[in-house]
Amino acid sequence: METQIETINTKLSALTTTVTTIQATVETHTSDIAELRSQLDEQKAEIRTLKTSHHRREMRLRANTVRLFNFPYCVGESLENFKSLSAKVYDRVIKPTLVAAKAAGDLGSVPQQQTAIESCFRIYRQSGDDITRLPPPPVVIRLTSHNIKVAVMKNRRCVPPPSDGEKKDGLRNFTLVEDLTPEAFSLLRALQQDDRTHKVWSVNGIIHFTKPGGSGYSRVKNVFDSVDSILGET
């Protein structure tokens, strides 16, 4: 029995040594994992900072740009030639808003097409799009100044509706919105579809929203925040 006990003690001693070694290894790995997690958190924070900075620069580039939806195709319009489109957009959409802006005192005069629109083009989904199908792709309009853009957006409800013939062809009312980045637009849509919001809109690329029964409005600080965190912080 003494021999057996000694053998058992030897095995226990070996097992104790093994357990101690494993514990040391686990502690080392735990420390390594904690360090890696810390590095990962730092990298995520750095990536978020870079993405936020890039997004802000992108929005500055879009500061004078708006998007027009449901606008019909023009005679002579093509991927290589948007002159007819630009003229038609000015006459039917931009000019009425500028006239309303002048009447409201937002502008001193109504600028002509050349001094109001810097560029205008349609976003085709892919090369070779059938430009006879409906609904037509959106039109991007870059205005010549931020003041003109503000006046257009402020008075966009003055845009005349489509003609009866266009309505019969399936065209809906023309819609003017800010030219948001994909990230901002995606967040805008997500907030609009959330039951916890009442009204959602954007001003100069910054998303605003109200809550049902609430007073005042809130602004989204960062478009890379989740919907839950945005609504939870307000």
Give residue-wise pLDDT tens across range 90-103: 999 999 999 999 99
Indicate if 122 and 201 belong to the same structural domain.
Answer: no
Q: Token digits for 223?
A: 């478009």
Is residue 127 scored above 60 in pLDDT?
no
- Name the strands in the sheet holding 139-143, side by side, starting at the edge strand that comes first in the sequence: 117-122, 139-143, 65-69, 175-178
Q: Please, what is the angle between helix 182-192 and helix 2-61, to 10°?
A: 100
What SS3 class is residue 143?
A: strand
Is residue 131 scored above 80 in pLDDT?
no
Where among 159, 178, 197 does a domain terminate?
Answer: 178
Q: Is the peptide bond before 135 cis (omega within 30 degrees of 0)?
A: yes
28 belongs to a structural domain: no
Indicate if 148 and 174 belong to the same structural domain.
Answer: yes
DSSP string, 93-134: IIHHHHHHHHHTTS-SS---HHHHEEEEEE--SSTT--TTSS
pTM value? 0.75
The mean-pLDDT minimum among 32-36, 63-67, 177-181, 217-221 falls in 32-36
Where among 178, 205, 223 does a domain terminate?
Answer: 178
What SS3 class is residue 82?
A: coil
pLDDT digits (tens, 9 = 90+) for 156-175: 999 998 888 888 877 888 99
Indicate if 169 and 210 belong to the same structural domain.
Answer: no
Residue 125 pLDDT class (50, 70, 90 cuts):
low
Tell me the average pLDDT of the chain. 88
165 belongs to a structural domain: yes
Indicate if 203 and 152 belong to the same structural domain.
Answer: no
* Domain count for the chain: 2
Q: Provide the CATH number for the domain around residue 70.
A: 3.30.70
Is residue 33 scored above 70 in pLDDT?
yes
Q: Which helix (H) or strand (E) holds 8?
A: helix 2-61
Indicate if 173 and 138 belong to the same structural domain.
Answer: yes
Domain that holds residue 80: 65-178
Backbone angles phi, psi at 190, to 5 degrees: -60, -40
8 A C-beta contact, residue 135 and residue 64: no
Indicate if 118 and 164 belong to the same structural domain.
Answer: yes
Indicate if 87 and 148 belong to the same structural domain.
Answer: yes
14 belongs to a structural domain: no
